[in-house]
Amino acid sequence: MTDVIATYYFRPREGVTPEWAAQAIAEEQTTGTWTDISTRQTYVHYLDGVVGEIRPMGGGYTCTIRYPAEIFEPGNIPQYLSVLAGNLFGLSRIAAVRLMDVEFSRDIVPFKGPKFGIEGVRKLAGTVDRPHVGTIIKPKVGLNPKDTAAVAYEAAIGGVDLIKDDETLTDQTFCPLGERLPLIMEQLDRVKSETGRNVLYAVNISTAGDKIVQRAREAARMGANMLMIDVIVCGFDAVRAVAQEPGINLPIHVHRTMHAAITRNPEHGIAMRPICRLVRMLGGDQLHTGTVSGKMEHDVTELRGDNLALTEPFFDLKPTFPVASGGLHPGGVHKEVSMLGRDIILQAGGGIHGHPDGTRAGATAMRQAVDAAVAGISPATYAEDHPELKRALDKWGIA
Protein backbone atom coordinates (compact mmCIF):
# COMPACT_ATOMS: atom_id res chain seq x y z
CA MET A 1 0.00 0.00 0.00
CA THR A 2 1.43 3.36 -1.02
CA ASP A 3 -1.56 5.51 -0.07
CA VAL A 4 -2.96 6.39 3.35
CA ILE A 5 -6.45 5.25 4.31
CA ALA A 6 -8.37 7.10 7.01
CA THR A 7 -11.65 5.92 8.50
CA TYR A 8 -14.19 8.52 9.60
CA TYR A 9 -17.52 8.55 11.35
CA PHE A 10 -19.78 11.43 10.30
CA ARG A 11 -23.34 12.64 10.78
CA PRO A 12 -24.71 14.99 8.11
CA ARG A 13 -27.14 17.73 9.01
CA GLU A 14 -30.76 17.38 7.95
CA GLY A 15 -31.15 17.53 4.19
CA VAL A 16 -27.53 16.61 3.47
CA THR A 17 -26.86 13.23 1.89
CA PRO A 18 -24.11 10.99 3.26
CA GLU A 19 -22.54 10.92 -0.20
CA TRP A 20 -22.28 14.71 -0.28
CA ALA A 21 -20.89 14.83 3.26
CA ALA A 22 -18.21 12.21 2.60
CA GLN A 23 -17.15 13.91 -0.60
CA ALA A 24 -17.04 17.27 1.20
CA ILE A 25 -14.60 15.80 3.74
CA ALA A 26 -12.40 14.35 0.99
CA GLU A 27 -12.33 17.62 -0.94
CA GLU A 28 -11.74 19.82 2.12
CA GLN A 29 -8.73 17.76 3.11
CA THR A 30 -7.18 17.55 -0.35
CA THR A 31 -7.74 19.72 -3.44
CA GLY A 32 -11.24 21.13 -3.00
CA THR A 33 -12.80 24.33 -1.70
CA TRP A 34 -16.31 25.70 -1.24
CA THR A 35 -16.84 27.05 -4.79
CA ASP A 36 -15.66 26.69 -8.38
CA ILE A 37 -12.19 28.15 -8.87
CA SER A 38 -10.27 29.17 -11.99
CA THR A 39 -6.92 28.07 -10.62
CA ARG A 40 -7.65 24.36 -10.51
CA GLN A 41 -5.44 22.70 -13.10
CA THR A 42 -6.44 19.30 -14.41
CA TYR A 43 -3.21 17.72 -13.25
CA VAL A 44 -3.92 18.36 -9.54
CA HIS A 45 -6.73 15.80 -9.49
CA TYR A 46 -4.28 12.97 -8.88
CA LEU A 47 -4.08 14.34 -5.32
CA ASP A 48 -7.84 14.11 -4.74
CA GLY A 49 -9.04 12.10 -1.78
CA VAL A 50 -11.08 9.07 -2.85
CA VAL A 51 -14.17 8.12 -0.86
CA GLY A 52 -14.64 4.43 -0.17
CA GLU A 53 -17.76 2.53 0.88
CA ILE A 54 -20.22 4.49 3.03
CA ARG A 55 -21.94 2.45 5.73
CA PRO A 56 -24.62 3.33 8.29
CA MET A 57 -23.42 3.37 11.91
CA GLY A 58 -25.50 4.49 14.88
CA GLY A 59 -27.07 7.81 14.00
CA GLY A 60 -24.58 8.49 11.21
CA TYR A 61 -22.21 6.82 8.78
CA THR A 62 -18.66 5.61 8.38
CA CYS A 63 -16.47 5.77 5.32
CA THR A 64 -12.86 5.45 4.32
CA ILE A 65 -10.98 8.11 2.42
CA ARG A 66 -7.86 7.16 0.50
CA TYR A 67 -5.25 9.89 0.44
CA PRO A 68 -2.42 9.73 -2.13
CA ALA A 69 0.96 9.34 -0.44
CA GLU A 70 2.25 12.32 -2.45
CA ILE A 71 0.03 14.70 -0.49
CA PHE A 72 2.10 14.03 2.63
CA GLU A 73 5.55 15.42 3.37
CA PRO A 74 7.43 12.38 4.74
CA GLY A 75 8.31 12.78 8.39
CA ASN A 76 6.22 15.94 8.93
CA ILE A 77 3.64 14.93 11.55
CA PRO A 78 2.03 18.41 11.83
CA GLN A 79 1.41 18.26 8.08
CA TYR A 80 0.01 14.71 8.32
CA LEU A 81 -2.51 15.90 10.89
CA SER A 82 -3.49 18.91 8.79
CA VAL A 83 -4.57 16.44 6.09
CA LEU A 84 -6.10 13.69 8.22
CA ALA A 85 -7.64 15.89 10.91
CA GLY A 86 -7.77 19.44 9.62
CA ASN A 87 -10.69 21.72 8.74
CA LEU A 88 -13.19 18.87 8.33
CA PHE A 89 -14.36 19.21 11.95
CA GLY A 90 -15.79 22.66 11.25
CA LEU A 91 -17.76 21.96 8.07
CA SER A 92 -21.13 23.60 8.73
CA ARG A 93 -23.27 21.10 6.82
CA ILE A 94 -21.88 18.16 8.77
CA ALA A 95 -23.06 17.96 12.38
CA ALA A 96 -20.27 15.67 13.62
CA VAL A 97 -17.07 14.08 12.31
CA ARG A 98 -14.67 11.72 14.06
CA LEU A 99 -11.35 10.38 12.80
CA MET A 100 -11.55 6.76 13.91
CA ASP A 101 -8.41 5.16 12.49
CA VAL A 102 -5.59 5.55 9.99
CA GLU A 103 -3.71 3.00 7.90
CA PHE A 104 -0.31 4.50 7.18
CA SER A 105 1.80 3.52 4.20
CA ARG A 106 5.46 2.67 4.68
CA ASP A 107 6.41 5.58 2.43
CA ILE A 108 5.40 8.12 5.04
CA VAL A 109 6.64 6.28 8.12
CA PRO A 110 10.36 7.15 8.02
CA PHE A 111 10.49 6.76 11.80
CA LYS A 112 12.32 4.17 13.87
CA GLY A 113 9.58 3.77 16.46
CA PRO A 114 10.28 2.79 20.08
CA LYS A 115 13.92 2.24 21.00
CA PHE A 116 12.96 -0.28 23.67
CA GLY A 117 9.37 -1.40 23.18
CA ILE A 118 7.71 -3.96 25.40
CA GLU A 119 10.57 -6.46 25.41
CA GLY A 120 13.20 -3.79 25.94
CA VAL A 121 11.36 -2.36 28.92
CA ARG A 122 10.85 -5.87 30.31
CA LYS A 123 14.57 -6.46 30.03
CA LEU A 124 15.30 -3.29 31.99
CA ALA A 125 12.82 -4.28 34.70
CA GLY A 126 13.76 -7.96 34.71
CA THR A 127 10.30 -9.35 33.97
CA VAL A 128 9.11 -11.95 31.50
CA ASP A 129 5.40 -12.65 31.27
CA ARG A 130 3.41 -10.65 33.75
CA PRO A 131 1.82 -7.20 33.77
CA HIS A 132 3.99 -4.45 35.14
CA VAL A 133 2.82 -2.53 38.18
CA GLY A 134 3.32 1.20 38.16
CA THR A 135 2.44 4.09 40.42
CA ILE A 136 2.21 7.84 40.30
CA ILE A 137 3.63 10.04 43.03
CA LYS A 138 0.65 11.32 45.02
CA PRO A 139 -0.37 13.95 45.83
CA LYS A 140 0.27 14.89 42.22
CA VAL A 141 1.83 18.24 43.21
CA GLY A 142 2.94 19.79 46.48
CA LEU A 143 5.50 17.38 47.94
CA ASN A 144 9.09 18.60 48.25
CA PRO A 145 11.92 16.57 46.64
CA LYS A 146 12.87 14.75 49.85
CA ASP A 147 9.32 13.59 50.59
CA THR A 148 8.76 12.70 46.93
CA ALA A 149 11.81 10.44 47.05
CA ALA A 150 10.58 8.88 50.29
CA VAL A 151 7.27 8.00 48.63
CA ALA A 152 9.14 6.55 45.67
CA TYR A 153 11.19 4.31 47.96
CA GLU A 154 8.11 2.97 49.73
CA ALA A 155 6.42 2.16 46.42
CA ALA A 156 9.55 0.56 44.99
CA ILE A 157 10.33 -1.57 48.03
CA GLY A 158 6.69 -2.65 48.04
CA GLY A 159 7.05 -4.12 44.57
CA VAL A 160 6.24 -1.67 41.77
CA ASP A 161 8.16 -1.83 38.50
CA LEU A 162 7.59 1.79 37.52
CA ILE A 163 7.21 5.12 39.29
CA LYS A 164 6.22 8.22 37.38
CA ASP A 165 5.59 11.88 37.94
CA ASP A 166 2.03 13.02 37.51
CA GLU A 167 1.22 15.07 34.44
CA THR A 168 1.25 18.44 36.23
CA LEU A 169 4.61 17.96 37.95
CA THR A 170 7.53 19.23 35.87
CA ASP A 171 10.10 21.70 37.26
CA GLN A 172 8.21 23.90 39.74
CA THR A 173 9.90 25.72 42.61
CA PHE A 174 8.34 23.48 45.30
CA CYS A 175 9.87 20.38 43.70
CA PRO A 176 12.59 21.24 41.17
CA LEU A 177 13.43 18.51 38.70
CA GLY A 178 17.14 18.97 39.35
CA GLU A 179 16.65 18.16 43.04
CA ARG A 180 13.88 15.58 42.75
CA LEU A 181 15.47 13.33 40.13
CA PRO A 182 18.80 12.61 41.89
CA LEU A 183 17.05 11.96 45.21
CA ILE A 184 14.60 9.51 43.65
CA MET A 185 17.33 7.70 41.72
CA GLU A 186 19.32 7.45 44.96
CA GLN A 187 16.35 5.72 46.59
CA LEU A 188 15.87 3.39 43.63
CA ASP A 189 19.54 2.46 43.82
CA ARG A 190 18.92 1.64 47.46
CA VAL A 191 16.02 -0.62 46.48
CA LYS A 192 18.20 -2.36 43.91
CA SER A 193 20.90 -3.03 46.49
CA GLU A 194 18.30 -4.40 48.91
CA THR A 195 16.21 -6.47 46.51
CA GLY A 196 18.11 -6.81 43.22
CA ARG A 197 15.16 -5.25 41.39
CA ASN A 198 15.57 -2.44 38.86
CA VAL A 199 12.70 0.03 39.25
CA LEU A 200 12.12 2.63 36.54
CA TYR A 201 11.33 6.29 37.21
CA ALA A 202 9.65 8.30 34.44
CA VAL A 203 10.63 11.89 35.14
CA ASN A 204 8.33 14.39 33.47
CA ILE A 205 10.39 16.51 31.07
CA SER A 206 7.38 18.18 29.44
CA THR A 207 8.16 21.77 28.48
CA ALA A 208 8.24 24.12 25.48
CA GLY A 209 9.13 22.61 22.12
CA ASP A 210 12.44 24.41 21.82
CA LYS A 211 13.55 23.25 25.29
CA ILE A 212 12.42 19.66 25.64
CA VAL A 213 15.46 17.99 24.05
CA GLN A 214 17.79 19.98 26.28
CA ARG A 215 15.73 19.02 29.32
CA ALA A 216 15.91 15.38 28.24
CA ARG A 217 19.69 15.64 27.96
CA GLU A 218 19.92 17.16 31.43
CA ALA A 219 17.73 14.41 32.91
CA ALA A 220 19.90 11.74 31.29
CA ARG A 221 23.03 13.42 32.63
CA MET A 222 21.55 13.37 36.15
CA GLY A 223 21.01 9.62 35.97
CA ALA A 224 17.40 9.25 34.76
CA ASN A 225 16.45 5.75 33.61
CA MET A 226 13.19 6.79 31.90
CA LEU A 227 11.63 9.99 30.56
CA MET A 228 8.00 11.09 30.46
CA ILE A 229 6.31 13.39 27.94
CA ASP A 230 2.76 14.80 28.00
CA VAL A 231 2.19 14.21 24.30
CA ILE A 232 -0.98 16.18 23.57
CA VAL A 233 0.06 19.39 25.31
CA CYS A 234 3.70 19.16 24.15
CA GLY A 235 2.85 18.05 20.61
CA PHE A 236 3.57 14.77 18.86
CA ASP A 237 6.88 16.01 17.52
CA ALA A 238 8.19 16.36 21.06
CA VAL A 239 8.24 12.56 21.27
CA ARG A 240 10.02 12.29 17.93
CA ALA A 241 12.60 14.92 18.84
CA VAL A 242 13.55 13.19 22.09
CA ALA A 243 13.40 9.65 20.67
CA GLN A 244 15.67 10.55 17.75
CA GLU A 245 18.21 12.51 19.80
CA PRO A 246 21.43 10.45 19.42
CA GLY A 247 22.73 11.09 22.92
CA ILE A 248 19.57 9.92 24.70
CA ASN A 249 19.09 6.19 25.11
CA LEU A 250 16.19 6.01 27.57
CA PRO A 251 12.65 4.63 27.25
CA ILE A 252 9.91 7.22 26.86
CA HIS A 253 6.72 7.03 28.90
CA VAL A 254 3.96 8.96 27.13
CA HIS A 255 1.07 10.50 29.08
CA ARG A 256 -2.09 11.58 27.25
CA THR A 257 -3.31 14.41 29.49
CA MET A 258 -5.94 16.57 27.72
CA HIS A 259 -6.75 13.75 25.30
CA ALA A 260 -10.42 13.55 26.34
CA ALA A 261 -11.02 17.02 24.93
CA ILE A 262 -10.29 15.35 21.57
CA THR A 263 -11.25 11.68 22.07
CA ARG A 264 -14.21 11.54 24.46
CA ASN A 265 -17.09 12.47 22.15
CA PRO A 266 -18.00 9.25 20.26
CA GLU A 267 -19.26 11.30 17.31
CA HIS A 268 -16.81 14.17 16.99
CA GLY A 269 -13.06 14.66 17.27
CA ILE A 270 -10.26 12.13 17.04
CA ALA A 271 -10.41 8.64 18.51
CA MET A 272 -7.53 7.32 20.59
CA ARG A 273 -6.46 4.86 17.90
CA PRO A 274 -4.79 7.35 15.53
CA ILE A 275 -2.99 8.82 18.56
CA CYS A 276 -1.73 5.33 19.43
CA ARG A 277 -0.37 4.84 15.95
CA LEU A 278 1.37 8.21 15.93
CA VAL A 279 2.98 7.73 19.34
CA ARG A 280 4.29 4.32 18.34
CA MET A 281 5.65 5.64 15.05
CA LEU A 282 7.39 8.51 16.77
CA GLY A 283 9.14 6.47 19.46
CA GLY A 284 6.92 6.21 22.54
CA ASP A 285 7.80 3.08 24.53
CA GLN A 286 4.73 3.33 26.78
CA LEU A 287 1.38 5.07 26.30
CA HIS A 288 -1.67 5.51 28.51
CA THR A 289 -4.78 4.08 26.83
CA GLY A 290 -7.21 3.59 29.72
CA THR A 291 -8.75 0.92 31.93
CA VAL A 292 -11.80 -1.32 31.85
CA SER A 293 -12.49 -0.79 35.55
CA GLY A 294 -11.25 2.67 36.50
CA LYS A 295 -12.67 6.16 36.97
CA MET A 296 -12.33 7.45 33.40
CA GLU A 297 -15.00 6.91 30.77
CA HIS A 298 -14.11 4.06 28.44
CA ASP A 299 -15.37 1.76 25.71
CA VAL A 300 -13.91 -1.73 26.13
CA THR A 301 -14.07 -2.60 22.42
CA GLU A 302 -12.31 0.62 21.49
CA LEU A 303 -9.74 0.15 24.24
CA ARG A 304 -8.84 -3.33 23.07
CA GLY A 305 -8.41 -2.01 19.54
CA ASP A 306 -6.26 0.85 20.78
CA ASN A 307 -3.98 -1.57 22.61
CA LEU A 308 -3.73 -3.70 19.47
CA ALA A 309 -2.62 -0.61 17.54
CA LEU A 310 0.29 -0.41 19.98
CA THR A 311 1.20 -4.10 19.97
CA GLU A 312 0.25 -5.77 16.67
CA PRO A 313 2.81 -5.96 13.83
CA PHE A 314 3.38 -2.53 12.28
CA PHE A 315 6.14 -2.59 9.67
CA ASP A 316 9.39 -3.20 11.59
CA LEU A 317 8.52 -1.01 14.59
CA LYS A 318 8.72 -2.42 18.10
CA PRO A 319 5.45 -2.63 20.06
CA THR A 320 4.56 0.05 22.59
CA PHE A 321 3.59 -0.95 26.15
CA PRO A 322 -0.08 0.01 26.84
CA VAL A 323 -0.68 1.65 30.21
CA ALA A 324 -3.96 1.22 32.12
CA SER A 325 -4.46 4.08 34.56
CA GLY A 326 -7.14 6.22 36.17
CA GLY A 327 -8.86 4.98 39.32
CA LEU A 328 -7.18 1.58 39.26
CA HIS A 329 -6.79 -0.41 42.49
CA PRO A 330 -6.00 -4.05 43.43
CA GLY A 331 -9.65 -5.06 43.18
CA GLY A 332 -9.68 -4.12 39.48
CA VAL A 333 -6.51 -5.96 38.46
CA HIS A 334 -8.18 -9.30 37.68
CA LYS A 335 -10.61 -7.61 35.29
CA GLU A 336 -7.86 -5.61 33.58
CA VAL A 337 -5.66 -8.67 33.01
CA SER A 338 -8.50 -10.95 31.90
CA MET A 339 -9.73 -8.40 29.35
CA LEU A 340 -6.47 -6.72 28.24
CA GLY A 341 -3.86 -9.46 28.66
CA ARG A 342 -0.44 -9.54 30.28
CA ASP A 343 1.38 -7.05 28.09
CA ILE A 344 -0.02 -4.14 30.08
CA ILE A 345 1.22 -1.70 32.70
CA LEU A 346 -1.21 -1.36 35.60
CA GLN A 347 -0.69 2.17 36.87
CA ALA A 348 -2.27 2.90 40.25
CA GLY A 349 -1.91 6.16 42.16
CA GLY A 350 -4.59 6.43 44.81
CA GLY A 351 -5.03 2.65 44.56
CA ILE A 352 -1.55 2.27 46.06
CA HIS A 353 -1.04 5.34 48.25
CA GLY A 354 -4.59 5.09 49.59
CA HIS A 355 -4.05 1.63 51.07
CA PRO A 356 -5.05 1.58 54.75
CA ASP A 357 -1.50 0.57 55.71
CA GLY A 358 0.32 3.01 53.44
CA THR A 359 2.22 3.09 50.17
CA ARG A 360 4.42 0.04 50.73
CA ALA A 361 1.45 -2.18 51.55
CA GLY A 362 -0.47 -0.71 48.62
CA ALA A 363 2.31 -1.61 46.19
CA THR A 364 2.50 -5.10 47.66
CA ALA A 365 -1.27 -5.50 47.32
CA MET A 366 -1.09 -4.57 43.63
CA ARG A 367 1.67 -7.11 43.04
CA GLN A 368 -0.34 -9.75 44.88
CA ALA A 369 -3.36 -8.95 42.74
CA VAL A 370 -1.22 -9.37 39.61
CA ASP A 371 0.15 -12.69 40.86
CA ALA A 372 -3.40 -13.89 41.51
CA ALA A 373 -4.58 -12.85 38.05
CA VAL A 374 -1.64 -14.52 36.31
CA ALA A 375 -2.22 -17.71 38.31
CA GLY A 376 -5.93 -17.68 37.51
CA ILE A 377 -6.90 -17.40 41.17
CA SER A 378 -9.75 -15.13 42.20
CA PRO A 379 -8.62 -12.05 44.17
CA ALA A 380 -10.86 -12.97 47.11
CA THR A 381 -9.32 -16.44 47.37
CA TYR A 382 -5.76 -15.13 47.02
CA ALA A 383 -6.43 -12.52 49.69
CA GLU A 384 -7.16 -15.19 52.28
CA ASP A 385 -3.44 -15.61 52.97
CA HIS A 386 -2.18 -12.27 51.60
CA PRO A 387 -3.09 -9.61 54.17
CA GLU A 388 -2.11 -6.57 52.08
CA LEU A 389 -4.47 -7.62 49.30
CA LYS A 390 -7.17 -8.45 51.83
CA ARG A 391 -6.99 -4.95 53.32
CA ALA A 392 -7.21 -3.39 49.86
CA LEU A 393 -10.23 -5.46 48.88
CA ASP A 394 -11.94 -4.61 52.16
CA LYS A 395 -11.53 -0.93 51.32
CA TRP A 396 -12.25 -0.83 47.57
CA GLY A 397 -13.96 -4.12 46.78
CA ILE A 398 -13.60 -6.11 43.56
CA ALA A 399 -14.41 -4.46 40.25
Active site residues: 138, 255
For residue 243, which of 123, 112, 124 has the smallest C-alpha distance? 112
**CA distances for 214 relative to 57, 165, 241, angstroms:** 47, 19, 10
Q: Which amino acid is at 296?
A: M
CA distance 231 to 212: 12
C-beta of residue 102 within 8 angstroms of C-beta of residue 84: yes
DSSP track, 196-257: ----EEEEE----TTTHHHHHHHHHHTT-SEEEEEHHHH-HHHHHHHHH-TT----EEEE-T
3-state secondary structure of 149: helix
Residue 349 φ/ψ, nearest 5 degrees? -100, -80
C-beta of residue 206 within 8 angstroms of C-beta of residue 253: no
CA distance 398 to 330: 8
For residue 259, which of 241, 240, 279 has the smallest C-alpha distance? 279
**CA distances for 304 relative to 1, 272, 289, 307, 310, angstroms:** 25, 11, 9, 5, 10
Residue 327 φ/ψ, nearest 5 degrees? 80, 20
Helices first, then strands: H and E counts in the chain: 16, 13
List, in order, residues 6 or more apart from 82 with CB less than 8 Å away: none
